[in-house]
Structures are given as structure tokens and as C-alpha cells.
Amino acid sequence: MIKHPLCKYTAFVALILIIPFVLKGSYLINVMVFVGINTMLAIALNLLLGYAGQISLGHAAFFGLGAYLSGVLTATHGMNPWLVMVAAAVGVGLLAFVIGFPILRLKGHYLAMATLGFGIIVYIVFNETVDITGGPSGLSGIPNLKLGPVAFDSDLKNYYLVWIVTLLVVLLAVNLADSRIGRSLRAIHDSEVAARVMGVNARLLKVQIFALSAVISSLAGSLYAHTMAFVAPASFGFNFSVELLTMVVIGGLGSIYGSFLGALLLTLLPEFLRFLHDYDIVFYGLLLMVMIMFMPGGLVRGIPALLRRMMTGRKKGETVDA
Amino acid sequence: MGHRLLSYLLAAVFMLSGASAFAAPTIKIGALFSVTGPAAFLGEPERNTAVMVVDQINKAGGIKGKKIELIVYDTNGDATKAKQLVNKLIKNDKVSAIIGPSTTGESMAIINDVEKAGVPLISCAAGIKITEPVKKWVFKTAQNDSLAVARIYEYLQKNRLNKVAILTVSDGFGQSGREQLKAQAKKYGISVVSDDTYGPKDTDMSPQLTKIRGSKAQALICWGTNPGPAVVAKNARQLGLKMPVFMSHGVSSKKFIQLAGDAAEGLKLPSGKVIVADLLPASDPQKKSLMAFVNDYKKHYRAEGDHFGGHAWDAVMLLKGAIERGGDTPAAIRDQLEKTRQFHGIGGTFTFTSQDHAGLGKDAFVLVEVKNKDWVIVK
Amino acid sequence: MEQILQYSLSGIATGAIYALIGIGFSIIYNATGIINFAQGEFVMLGGILTFFFLDILQFPLWGAIILAVTGATLCGLLFERLAIRPLAKATPINLVIVTIGGSILIRGLAMLIWGKDTHSVPSFSGDNPIAIGSATLLPQHLWIMGITLAVICLNKYFFYHTINGKAMRACAYNPRAAGLVGIDVKRMVLLSFVISSAMGSLAGIIIAPLTMTAYDVGVMLGLKGFCAAIIGGMSTGMSVVVGGLLLGVLESLGAGLISSGYKDAIAFIILLLILFIRPQGLFGKAETERV
């Protein structure tokens, strides 16, 4: 297995670059664009949940805010999309920073409830401010992004655009996880009181990571709005927050590449279950349960363990390294 | 149930074994319906109808000797999925035309893709935005909500009821109704004195109705799809609401009467002609199509065909007409669709022009009332 | 402002349902430390099984209700046995994902078996409105309030006056200590699933005549029940009931007096404010964390 972080990252970049050639001309390129967006979102949530140990059931709200800010300001007000994207990320980050202080004081199920409440309030605002957001039937006419003479108007171009940003987010997250901040976060995860005693400003650090997580989600939202050219509130509801949570856990808590695997699996799965027609939902639910049972550490730990077991022919009794 | 599971499994095995046994040329038509998810009440009858009609056409020898191959994907009512699947239909399946999606949001989300690829789309959603302004490749079969609103307002004007309360569901369907109800009121000398909404999954609308009861409204118009309006009808009865209550065409099926029970008596609503097909005079130009659809649907699915299924019926038949007149390339289909004149379908009589890709007039709706657990036409 | 009475009464009836569902959440949370996302599906099963036994199999109403509660409870029991117990050593977040998977599975099966249509269930004793001052209620509302009250009393009796109930409370405080004094913790977890699925299905049954039932009604009701449980501090007693009623009345007043579109947002903003001012919940005592 590849151990060094830089080798791992290079391998990952290579994989992402090869994919368009493998999938040439297929609609799956389009699906892979959304895998990229979901990877960013899963990483954002993983930083919060897997590293700092803080649950969020309302992350779709930050995603939605980014998407709607980009959508409304470019489609309705004709502003520069790149500028808006940065401004939206900053704005959403600030919002998260401000609400982070009271929200992250809460623990356990109270935290779950508060983030869920925040998500639902934002969702209702998307629905009700019809004059601004277009209401439940959505906002269309969002322009594609342009960079000089290049317009990002095809699946392939969007694939590169989204994945360049995603790869940067992956790089940032991997470095963050290995830094002093990452270690402090894990300390908070294990015991906040102990971390505080050791001189970690736990409260500020939690809020900062919450804000960073919101910034990444907002970026993903802006990219989503420009590639879809359309946004509707239904994409940013409670269900999507839960789906993100599932991606993170199925992929592997506290693993950046795990978040990619989780996003990849849950985004592609519906495509491969399509032949089951109405039965796909049953299979989907069953698969989630079975995966947790057999890969409690997520795909990122479960797949290598599975491969090892297959290669060595050994059975149980081995410990799986994290 | 078991029978259906078996047939799906067989189909799956068949697909996996890579069966491309049919070498005969077919006309590929794609369909995107929200067969599951919150808009399943639209997508399921639409899918059923499309499959049924295509079967019938193929049994009768196809179109100009070519069989139709219908490829249906379930969008789950999700705009993101609709976007991915329309790409699949265009790039992988290389279809000549696309029917659906079921909702306005999904339709708006994929318009760019079909316009760019140059594939004709016949949406089964009602939103006016879909075909206004006209897009080269996009048509639709569902009646504009503005026509349904006009039917109710004409009746109110005739009966001198000029203060209304509106209660709409907070989804795309309700939003479109609410916009039209507010926009057209002035034209009919009506004022909207109370404007409320409810959530699609709400279980109690009595607070909104209590507020309406205390307002000056002379009539209530509720815009939603099952089961919300049935809850509204029950709550209205509980609160002893005296004013006449109007519903939308979103509930024009027997299912609604069944759900609301006694509370449905006396409610009025604008509806496509499907539910009253047998009451129409023989001179009605749509009668033949309507009776064929209603009878076939009953025979196939042992359920009542509704006007949602009708949208898909119209879409397939419009395509059939276009292909018969011209070729089966996307461009030929589009050009011939635009030349459709006086096609008597389920939703109404369609006439498309280069300025009108919705193609229906006001006669698409009739006003019906619930009497003795059945529909009667209000004159 | 005679309308206030109607808003409040409607809110109380809705809130009673939230409370019943909320207590189900609390019982499982106390026994296992997990938020059971499948709780709403038991509510759905209650309503849809009643429809099934009543309309399809032609049982009388009371028979159908008993069978529906039994059926849903059986599902809860199976769910614990097949999905929760094999994962005894799993982390809470993993168990939460399992319950999410379980809820998708149960909802999917219900959709395949009973279809996507909404079904109606008749009221227990007619639909003639009863006037209370200037407000009106349906007989079904009285059933809802009465049954909720009865269940809460039974609950209180069970947790404070029976040996099993006391054992469950002991497990909630400290499962290891409970195990050491000879309480079968696994059995208590099973029992918690049995009780909360029974209570959830009962909530689904008594509300079905008013709201109809379908395979997907559980999501929203489950969410509201979860909120009621949180406001009540995840207890199994009166505070969750107060939480449910508070949520119901806030929604109703919000819809009537302020804005029907924002009614859920209004309720959630108030809940968030409560949490910000009292991070330990409305009824909780501040705890010091042991390291």
C-alpha cells in the first residue's frame, strides 16, 4: 500500500486525470462532476465530524447558500461569477463563524438538533422568498462559468473545473489533518476537557473548523449552481444533509480519501441500481446497513482489509489499521 | 407483487447478459418520470401510460414499419438526477426525442441540455416558464395553470363572489397556482383578502382555516395535490366553514373523493375532461381519445386513468403524429411537432405554432362538483 | 382574539402526537445512546397496517388497531435483533447510519407492498365536530389527547413501579454498572425497541383518520417527534410531553398569527433560542463532564 502522503495524493490526481479517458463520451462524466461536488461536501463535513467530533445535520444549508448566492447574483443581477463565488464563500464562512459560537457550545443530541434546525430554517427561507430565489420551482438561467475565452459549458470542461477545485480541497484537508491543528482537533474529539487543559483553545478551534467547513460547502454550492445552471430548494433539504452524513461514515470517519470513496459510492450507486426499478430503494437501505455491519471503519479501511484477507487467505482475528 | 418482482429480475438478467438480439431498426424515445419520490403521483401514471401506449403502437406494427423503443428512467423528482439522466438519454442511448420530466423544476433544469444537443423534449409539467418564452426544442402537454385559475374566476365573477382566500401548498405546483391566482384576480374584479400556504406533508391546516374563517373572504381556493387538500376539506368541515370551497385540478381523481370522504361533498374544481369523459356529449371532439384512454388504462392497470397519465398519452401521440408526417430524426420530429394542428388529445385540443409550444386553449378545463361521491359538470 | 383558543387546541392535538413519537425516541436514546432515525417509520407502519387490516383484510376497527400495533412492534423487535444487536460494539454514529439505512429499507418495503398512494382510515367515532367555547374539535382529537394521556400514565407506572422499568432506568444511567448488578442490558435494549415501536405505531394509528396515511408520512412526523424529545431533554416523562405540546402550539400560533409559510421556521427559531440560552435543554440540569 502507498504510505507516504505525497505519493498517495499524486496517485489520486493521476486517477482523476485518467477517468475522462476511460469514460470517454459517456454520460458518466456528468455523474463524475457531481461526485466531485459531493466529495468536497463530504470532506467539509468530515473535517467537522471525523476530526473535531462535532455532528452537523444541516450541512446542506451551507451548500445551498453558496448555490443560491451564486445563482441569484449572477442570473438575476448579472454580477461576475468568480467574484460572487469568492464573496459567497467569505459570506457563508462569516455566517458560520457567527452562529458557530452558540451552536458549538451544544453537545451530542442538542448539537444535532440545533444544526438540523438551522438547516430547516434556511431551507424554508429558500422556499418562501419566492421573489428572490424563485421559490419551490427553482431558479433557472444561471450562466456557465467562463475563464477568458474558455466557457465551461460541456461535461468534460466542467469535470476538469470541478475536479481541480476538489483536488485543491483534498490537498488542503490532507495537510490540515496532518498539521498541529489536525492533532488539536483529534484531541478535542477524544476529550475536549483534556484538550483544553493541554492549552488548546477548543472553543475557537471548533468554530474555525465549522467556518472552514462552511466555506468549502459554499464553494461546492457555487460550482453546483454554475454546472447545473439551475437550482431548486429540494436539493438542499434535510434529506441531503443526511445523505452527506452517510457518505462520510460509509467512506470512513476521519479519512479524506474515505470521503471521496463515500461520495463516489453513494453518487454512482443509484446509476448501477437503476435496473432494479422501484426496488432500488430497498436495496439501497439494505446496503447501507450491511456495509456498516461488515465495514464499521468505512470503505477506506474495509476495502484494504478485504483485499488483504483475500490475498493472504486468512480469516478473522486480524486488527484493521486505521 | 411477486409477479412484478419476477419480471423485473428477469429483465435485469436479460440486460446483464447483454442481449442486443433486436437488430431491426427502432425509433428510440427517452422518458424521464418521477416514478418514485414526492412527485410519484405524477410520474407513476405517466410512466404506466407511456408504456401502455407504446406497447399498443408496436402491436399495431409501429410507426411506418419501425417499432418504438421506450427507455424510461426514474428521476426521483430530483433536478440533479434529471440532469444526469437527460445526459444519459442523449449521449448513451442516443434517443430521437424525450418525454417528461414530470415536474416544472426538473423540466427547467434540463432545458439547456436538450437545446444544446438538439433533441425535442415534450415536458409533462404545467409551469408556464417551460414554454414561455418559446424554446426551439421544448414543448409541453400539461395545461397551463393559468387556464385552471381562469375557470374558477369566471365562475366566481358570474356568481358575484369577489373576495377570495387562497391556501396553497408550498411546492412547485402550489407556487405556480398562487402566482396565477394573484396575477389574474384583478382582471376578474376579484381581490385576494387572505393568502396562506401549507407544507406538502403538514397534518393539520386548521390554524390557516381559522384565520380564513375570521377574514372577509366569500370563497376559499385551495391549490395542492393529495393528500393536503383532503386534510383541508376535513378541517374546513370541522371548523364549520360556510363559504364555498374550490380545489385545483391537482386533485381531480376519484382518489381525492375517497380520501376526503363526506367532506368532499359540494367542493368544486377545474379539471381536465378525463374524469368526466362519459358525461361529455358525443359531439365533443376529444370524446374519442378520452374514452380510448380511460378504457385502456382500466384494462391494463385496473385503476382509473387520470389527467396526469393523459399528459404522457398526449406526448406519445404527438410524437407519433410528428414521426408519421416526417422522419424520425430529432430535427424532423421537432419541425413536424411545431406543425401539429387540431390534435384532439386528453389534455385538450393541441395546436402548436412557432410562437406557441403549449398549444392549448381555455376549453381544456371544465368545472366539476362533487355530488354523491361522484363528479358532475357545473354549467 | 377568540381564534387563539382554536389555535391552541389544534396545536395541543398535534403536539400530543409529537410527544408520543418523542417519548419513543427518548426511550431508545436512553437505552442505547443512539438517535433512532427509523422511529418515524414505526409511526407510518401503525397507520398503514391499520389501513391494511381494516380495508384489505376486512377486520373490525379495534381488531385492526391491535393487529397494527402488534405488527409494528414485531418490526421493531426484528429491527433490533437483525440490525442493532449484531453491532453491539459499534460506535453511536455507525448505529445512527444503520437506523438511517433501516428507515430507508422499511419505507421502501412499505412502498412496494402498499403502493405510493395515500390511503384513508375512518375516524374512531364519527366526524361530527364538538364545540368547545368558540373553538371546534373532532372526536378524533379527543381520542388523541386521551390516548396520549393514558400512555404517559402507563409509561410513568412502568418506569417507576415495575422491576423491568426500574432496570431500564438503571441502564440509562450507567449500562456497565447495571450489568454488574445483574441486569441483562441486551434484553433492556430489546425492550426499549419494543416499547418505542409500539408507542410510535399507536401515534400513527390515532392520527391516521385526520391526516390519512402513506408510505412516506413517517419522515416528517419522526423529525417533529425528535424535536419534541430534544426540547424535553430526552427524558421519558412529562418534559417530553411539554416539549411536544410546545412545538405543536408554536406551529399553530405561528401559522395563524404570523405566517403560515414560515411556521416551521418560527418554531425552530424559538427552539434554537431556547438552546442558546440554556445549552443543557429546557429541563436539563447543567452537568459537569467527567474526564
pLDDT digits (tens, 9 = 90+) for A44-69: 999 999 998 899 999 999 999 999 99
What are the residue ranges spanned by the domains of chain A? 28-238
A249:C271 CB<8 A: no
Looking only at the bridges linking them, the beta strands covering B191-198 and B245-246 are: unpaired
HEC profile for chain C? CCHHHHHHHHHHHHHHHHHHHHHHHHHHHHHHCCCCCCHHHHHHHHHHHHHHHHHHCCCCHHHHHHHHHHHHHHHHHHHHHHHHHHHCCCCHHHHHHHHHHHHHHHHHHHHHHHCCCCECCCCCCCCCCEEECCEEECHHHHHHHHHHHHHHHHHHHHHHHCHHHHHHHHHHHCHHHHHHCCCCHHHHHHHHHHHHHHHHHHHHHHHHHHHCECCCCHHHHHHHHHHHHHHCCCCCCHHHHHHHHHHHHHHHHHHHHHCCCCHHHHHHHHHHHHHHHCCCCCCCCCCCCCC
Alpha-carbon distances, residue C206 vs A258, B65, B310, C143, C147 (angstroms): 44, 58, 36, 7, 8
Q: Do the chains contact at B175 and A136, CB–CB below 8 Å?
A: yes
Contacts of B11 in chain A (CB under 8 A): 275
- The Cα–Cα gap between A217 and B356 comes to 41
SS3 C29: helix
C260 at interface of B, judged by CB pairs closer than 8 A: yes
Neighbours of C163 (CB within 10 A): 8
Residue C259 backbone dihedrals phi, psi, to 5 degrees = -160, 125
Cβ contacts (< 8 Å) between C289 and chain A: which residues? Answer: 192-193
B90 in contact with A, Cβ within 8 Å: yes
Query: If you write DSSP's letter for every residue of C265-290 in order, what string do you get?
Result: HHHHHHHHHHHHH-TT-SSPPP-PPP
Query: How many alpha carbons fall within 13 Å on the CB side of residue A302?
Result: 18
Residue corresponding to grid cell 462520510: A248
Question: Residue C255 is nearest to which of B201, B207, B258, comparing CB atoms?
Answer: B207
Q: State whether residue A130 sits within 8 Å of chain B by CB.
A: yes
pLDDT, tens digit (0-9, with 9 covering 90-100), for C55-108: 999 999 999 999 999 999 999 999 999 999 988 778 888 998 999 999 999 999
Q: Using the beta-carbon criterion (under 8 Å), do B38 and C256 form an inter-chain contact? A: no
pLDDT (tens digit, 9 = 90+) per residue, C102-121?
999 999 999 999 998 899 99
Domain B147-271: CATH class, spelled out: alpha beta
Tell me where in chain B the CATH 3.40.50.2300 domain(s) lie: 24-143+290-362, 147-271
Is B335 within 8 Å of B122 (Cβ atoms)?
no
Distances (CA, A) of C172 to A108, A315, C189, C228: 15, 36, 10, 19
- Residues pairing with B32 in the sheet: B73
Name residue B138's beta-bridge partners: B121
Q: Which residue has the cell 482523476?
A: A16
Residues of B in contact with A138 (CB under 8 A): 79, 104-105, 108-109, 172
Minimal Cα–Cα distance from A68 to chain C, Å? 19
Q: Could you tell me the three cell numbers for C107?
A: 419505507
Separation in Å, CA of B90 to nearest CA in chain A:
8
Contacts of B32 in chain A (CB under 8 A): none
Smallest Cα distance from C199 to chain B, Å: 19
List chain B residues with CB under 8 Å of C116: 36, 40-41, 44
Residue percentage of chain C with pLDDT more than 90: 67
- Asked whether the predicted pLDDT for residue C4 surpasses 50, the reply is yes
The answer to whether C216 contacts chain B (CB < 8 Å) is: yes
- Does the structure show a pLDDT above 90 at A261? yes
> What number is the average pLDDT over the span C130-156?
92
- Please say if the pLDDT value at position A319 is more than 80: no
- Give pLDDT, residue B20: 44
Residue B170 to residue A140, Cβ atoms within 8 A: no
Length, in residues, of chain A:
322
- Using a CB–CB cutoff of 8 Å, tell me whether B352 touches chain A: no
Average of pLDDT values for A216-222?
Answer: 98
* CA–CA distance, B306 with B291 (Å, rounded to integer): 12
- Contact status, residue A233 vs residue C265, Cβ threshold 8 Å: no
Inter-chain contact A285–C93, Cβ cutoff 8 Å? no
Cell matching residue C185:
442490558
CATH (residue range B24-143+290-362): 3.40.50.2300
* The three three-digit cell numbers of residue C269, written as one number: 427559531
- What is the pLDDT, as a whole number, of residue C282? 72
In this prediction, residues C174-192 reach a mean pLDDT of 90
The number of residues making up chain B comes to 379
pLDDT of A195 reads 83
> Of C113, C210, C216, which has the smallest distance from its Cβ to B234's Cβ?
C210
Backbone angles phi, psi at A63, to 5 degrees: -55, -50
Return the number of other C-beta atoms located less than 10 Å from residue C287's C-beta: 8
Show the cell assigned to C98: 444503520
- Contacting residues of B for A135, CB less than 8 Å apart: 172, 175
Which of B77, B92, B175 comes nearest A27 by C-beta?
A: B92
Q: Per the CB < 8 Å rule, is C108 touching A114?
A: no
Question: HSE (CB half, 13 Å, CA atoms) of A70?
Answer: 34
| Grid cell digits, residue B202 | 403538514
B176/A contact by beta carbon, under 8 A = yes
The residues with which B71 forms a beta bridge, in sequence order, are B30
Touching subunits for chain B (3+ Cβ pairs under 8 A):
A, C
Tell me how far apart the alpha carbons of residues A110 and A104 are, in angstroms, rounded to a whole number: 10
Scanning the structure block, which residue is given the C-alpha cell 400512555?
A: C151
Establish if C129 touches chain B: CB-CB under 8 angstroms: yes
Task: Please list the residues that pair with B31 across neighbouring strands.
Answer: B72, B99
d(CA B213, CA B220): 10
Residue A321 has pLDDT above 70, yes or no: no
Burial of A6: CB neighbours in 10 Å, binned 0-12, 13-18, 19+: exposed
| pLDDT-derived band at A182, boundaries 50, 70, 90 | confident
Is C272's pLDDT higher than 80? Answer: yes
Average pLDDT, chain A: 90
Nearest Cα to Cα of residue A186 among A170, A169, A198: A198
What are the tens digits of pLDDT across the range A290-302?
A: 989 889 889 999 8
Q: Cβ–Cβ of C289/A193 closer than 8 Å?
A: yes
Helices C92-114 and C61-79: angle between axes, nearest 10 degrees: 140
> How distant is the Cα of B85 from the closest Cα of chain C, in angstroms?
22
Q: Mind telling me how many Å the CA of C97 is from chain A's nearest CA?
A: 6
Compute the distance between CA of residue B32 and CA of residue B71 in angstroms, rounded to an integer.
9
* B340 vs C31 pLDDT, higher one: B340
Q: Does B122 touch chain A (CB under 8 A)?
A: no
Contact B227 C127 (CB under 8 A): no
Of A292, A7, A3, A9, give the one whose Cα is nearest residue A172: A9
| Residues A75 and A200 sit within 8 Å (Cβ to Cβ) | no
Q: Which residues contact A175 (CB under 8 A, 6 or more apart)?
A: none
In this model, does residue A277 exceed pLDDT 90?
no
Contact A136 B88 (CB under 8 A): no
Beta strands at B343-344 and B349-350: parallel, antiparallel or unpaired:
antiparallel
Q: Is B8 on the interface with A (CB under 8 A)?
A: yes
Q: Mean pLDDT, 10 residues at a time, over chain B (379 residues)?
A: 48 46 77 91 93 95 92 92 93 94 92 94 91 93 91 95 95 91 95 94 92 94 93 94 94 90 94 89 90 92 88 96 93 95 92 92 89 90
Confidence at residue C133, expressed as pLDDT on a 0 to 100 scale: 87
β-bridge mates for residue C84, sequence order: none
- Shortest Cα distance, chain C CAs vs residue A115, angstroms: 9
Contact flag A136-B15 (C-beta cutoff 8 Å): no
Residue B196: list chain C partners with CB under 8 A. 255, 260-261
Backbone angles phi, psi at B198, to 5 degrees: -140, 155
C137 in helix, strand or coil?
strand
- Mark yes or no for CB contact C116/B40 under 8 Å: yes
Q: Domains (ranges, CATH) in chain C?
A: 3-277 (1.10.3470)
